[in-house]
Amino acid sequence: MSQMQIPFVKEVEEMLETAKNMKPEDLEFKYKGILYPSLLSQPENIDAMESFEAREDDILLGAYPKCGYNWMIQVLNKIAFSAGKLKNPKYIPYLEFTNPEKMKNLSTLPSTRILGTHMNPDNIPVSFFEKKSKILVVLRNPKDTAVSYFHFYNKNPVLPTFESWDKFFSQYMSGDVMWGSYFDHAVAWEKYIDSENVKIVTYEDLKANLTEGVEDIAKYLNYTLSDEQIQTIAEECTFDAMKDKSQETHGSFSKVIFRKGGVGDWKNHFSEEQSKEVDAKFEQCLAGTKLGAKIKYEVHCK
């Protein structure tokens, strides 16, 4: 375990212990219409994001919850480390989890800084777009995202639990879950589909061919890696490989983060009516768009 990882795991363990003594309603707060986890973030954190100064050589990882964020943390760390841009792979701070004091400390970090967020792109610091920092976005099909998010809620002491899948599904579709609506996020990212400083990849494509995905991401970052380095990163970042080391990297929180990591599990949860409801929402929001095509909805959600 890297020295950067040790305080992170300790901090997570303390947070999980605190959550045990909290009422469900105290585990979340709503800010500007969006729910956030109160043990991880506060309104002042989100306010502080607005004035955050990005750098041209920053890398920002953006993803709606349960779309592969923790997976891509590992991939980005290993790519940057192998390219000689990082001395040691390290924990990537979520901007919305960073209090104002820690936000100031980010300005003292040497380049290359790798940062992350679950925020809707409309709420990401504008300096990332002004400075044309590299932004990597990972998307997942909306049905598998819903199932993974449901289990994440109910296994995670930091979040309130749902008494049923049906109750969760209803709130997922209305956007009344942490970080808001999946579809609002996807529609917002569609605006950047042709941007030179935003690369959108999908969970499903990465699962199908991680070696190709690693090579593609490295090229986007303008990093030169050997075929051997690319293959090694791909082998070390499979779901099974990461799950095997998750106790070391994430402590007891590993049981919350790493479940199945597959594609198509939605078929074990969705009723026919629920499936049709998501189909209609996709048709309304993303059908005919470049981002909609990238998700390969007909392949993964039918």
What are the catalytic residues?
Answer: 118
Residue 113: φ, ψ to 5°: -95, 130
Exposure string (b/e) for 104-113, b if CB count within 10 Å is 16 or more?
A: eeeeeeeebb
Exposure string (b/e) for 119-131, b if CB count within 10 Å is 16 or more?
A: bbbebbbebbbeb
Q: How far apart are CA 43 and CA 194, in angstroms?
A: 32
Instruction: For Cα atoms 247, 265, 294, give the angle at the middle one, nearest 5 degrees.
Output: 100
State how beta strands 59-62 and 134-139 pair: parallel
Return the closest-CA partner of residue 281 out of 185, 179, 157, 152. 185
Distance set, CA 269 to CA 153, 227, 264, 273 (Å)? 15, 40, 10, 11
Task: Determine the angle formed by the axes of helices 272-285 and 165-174, rounding to 10 degrees.
Answer: 10
Strands, E assignment, the chain:
28-31, 34-37, 59-62, 114-117, 134-139, 198-202
Q: How far apart are CA 180 and CA 177, in angstroms?
A: 5
Number of Cβ within a 10 Å radius of residue 167: 11
Instruction: For Cα atoms 144, 150, 152, give the angle at the middle one, nearest 5 degrees.
Output: 100
Q: For 68-122, give the secondary structure using H, E and C.
A: CHHHHHHHHHHHHHHCCCCCCCCCCCEHHHCCHHHHHHHCCCCCCCEEEECCCHH
